[in-house]
Amino acid sequence: MAQKKDKIRIAENEEKKDIKFPALLNYEEILYTPQQLEDINKNEGNKLNTAINDDGQVITDLINTKLNTQTKQILSGFTFGVSGAIQIGTYVNGTSGDIRISPNGIVGRDSAGNNTFAIDGTTGNATFAGSITGSTITGSTLQTGTSGKNVDITQGRISQRQDTTEIVYTDVGTNGGWFGLKDINGNSAQYIYVSDANRNICFHCDVGDFTFELAANKDIYFSGGRSISPAASTGYFLGLSSNKWETIYRTNEVSCALPTSNSAIDVFKKIKHPKIMKGDYGERHYFEVDKFPDEMRFLNDKKEPDIELTRTLGVCVQAIRELIEKVEKLEKK
């Protein structure tokens, strides 16, 4: 079959009208403000663009005048809605614990199911299984317990207690500090306190109604008709051979039976002449200790011989008796 040949058309001196080239599409307008979509304006397109990142993911961070989820900050006041309870974390035995928040309070528990802390929403009482650490703890009362040996701190008073019975305490008194001791039943026994504005310190014993006061000028006062006595009749010193009392004022001075000798005059004859020397009373005549007879001496706190007044007085009394007898004999002649 013979093929059909296309006719060749030759145009000469023909005019054609110009065909206007269509305008190029603006791809930016298509991306942000597709004008051909009447339900999406340019503003809404920009909002949609900023809500999607370069990876095509929706940006979930919220930033406004009240909340910034990027920095995890609350920027102003919030009003919380009502919710039954909130649980933070998932409790898995032996793996993880959780925290539960409800109108009744807050409870935290560890992976073993033990409550590690609890705050009662009604009373405000808080319980912690571990240590509480802080630079300042403020409250009206602090206790380490209510049974056995414990400590209670309440408004300036620190009490060491047996169960709930106070045994030892410190307190803030009218003029200063106060420290007291009680027996095991809580009965007051002794206390020390600043007694007045002059900062005098008073030691008081309730059992014997005895008061011992140490004044700011270093004077010591005793009241209550009580006495100071050693634990035994001998072996104790009031002052020392190297630290003597300057002056002793007393009404009566009681001694034991006066020690003496059968011939006190003979004892006096043993006393050597005094010697001028510097002593406790300045430079003057003194009887030297080592030249004094043994009947009038004793061993002091340093186990050294010293003149003893009671022994000396006993010998003096006996010597006077002997002299009286001699005078009477002379008078009879």
Q: Which long-range contacts (CB under 8 A, 24 or more apart) does 279-285 make?
A: 280/244
285-297 burial, b for 16+ CB within 10 Å, e for fewer?
Answer: eeeeeeebbebbb
In whole angstroms, what is the distance from residue 267 CA to residue 269 CA?
A: 5
DSSP state of 18: P
Is residue 204 a contact partner of residue 191, using CB atoms and an 8 Å limit?
A: yes
102/200 Cα distance (integer angstroms): 57
Contact (Cβ atoms closer than 8 angstroms) between residue 196 and residue 213: no
217, 173, 180: which is closest to 195 by C-alpha? 173
Q: Within 10 A of 106 (CB to CB), how many other CB atoms are there?
A: 16
* Element (DSSP H or E) covering residue 329: helix 309-332
Bridge partners for 276 per DSSP: 285
Residue found under tokens 């000396």: 312
Q: pTM of the prediction?
A: 0.49
The per-residue pLDDT for 156 is 87
- Residue 65 makes CB contacts below 8 A (sequence gap 6+) with 75, 76
Amino acid in the structure at residue 264 = A
Q: Divide the 333 residues of the chain into consecutive groups of 10 and give the mean pLDDT of each group.
A: 60 66 60 50 63 66 68 72 82 94 93 94 91 85 92 93 96 92 91 84 74 68 72 84 87 86 92 92 93 92 92 94 94 87
User: Which residues in 29-48 are b (16+ Cβ under 10 Å) and which e?
Assistant: eeebbeeeeeeeeeeebeee
Whose structure tokens read 């003893």? 308
Q: What is the pLDDT of residue 60?
A: 63
Distance CA 327, CA 265 (A): 14
Beta strands across the sheet bearing 188-194: 141-143, 149-154, 157-162, 165-172, 177-182, 188-194, 201-205, 210-214, 220-223
d(CA 109, CA 93): 11
